[in-house]
Amino acid sequence: MDEVDTPHDSLTEEDVSHLKILAIVHYVFAGLACLGMCFPAMYIGVGIGAMNGNMEVEGNMDPETFGQIFLAIGIGLAVFILLGAFLQFYIGRSLSTRTNYMFCFVVSAINCLNIPIGTLLGVFTIIVLQRPTVKEAFGQE
């Protein structure tokens, strides 16, 4: 039997089911975050286009500077989105293996800022993590 599917003695069938569902939803949320990479890709494309002289910039701004600003914004957004996707993937993995309780709890709390889907996911994850049987399965008091 795989480590991911091994039930702990303290967990009820409902707990195991909820943890499995939450892990899957966190994986899906990570995939949706990766899909959001299209947004910073547009900024990066505009920045590169402006720096190569393929775009005209109206006003007093130099096209090179305009392109650098857009490129920096795009790269910053891409790093932020990839970090969020990694955290979602890792929390899904941690819920599956029942490890890193505090990490799961903190990321779930941060998810609550991502309205509306992240809020629902964060609240439901916190509710499940607060169950005494789940805490015991994670090795918490």
pLDDT in tens, 116-141: 999 999 999 999 999 999 999 998 76
SS3 (DSSP) at 28: helix
In a domain, 111, yes or no: yes
In a domain, 94, yes or no: yes
In a domain, 34, yes or no: yes
In a domain, 2, yes or no: no
In a domain, 4, yes or no: no
9: CB partners within 8 A, 6+ apart: none
pTM exceeds cut of 0.75: yes
Burial class (CB in 10 A: 0-12, 13-18, 19+), 92: buried
Say what the pLDDT of residue 1 is.
41
Retrieve residue 31's tokens.
């995939």
The whole-number average pLDDT for the span 85-97 is: 96
Domain hosting residue 124, numbered range = 12-137
pLDDT for 54 beyond 90:
no
Tell me which of 3 and 60 has the higher pLDDT: 60
Which whole-number Å values give the CA distances from 100 to 17, 56, 94, 96, in the listed order? 19, 51, 6, 11
Say what the pLDDT of residue 61 is.
82
In a domain, 96, yes or no: yes
Domain count, the chain: 1
Burial class (CB in 10 A: 0-12, 13-18, 19+), 52: exposed
Retrieve residue 108's tokens.
């779930």
pLDDT for 91 beyond 70:
yes
Q: Which amino acid is at 118?
A: G
| C-beta of residue 107 within 8 angstroms of C-beta of residue 87 | yes
In a domain, 51, yes or no: yes
In a domain, 7, yes or no: no
| pLDDT tens digits for range 1-46 | 444 545 556 788 999 999 999 999 999 999 999 998 999 999 999 9
Say what the pLDDT of residue 88 is.
95
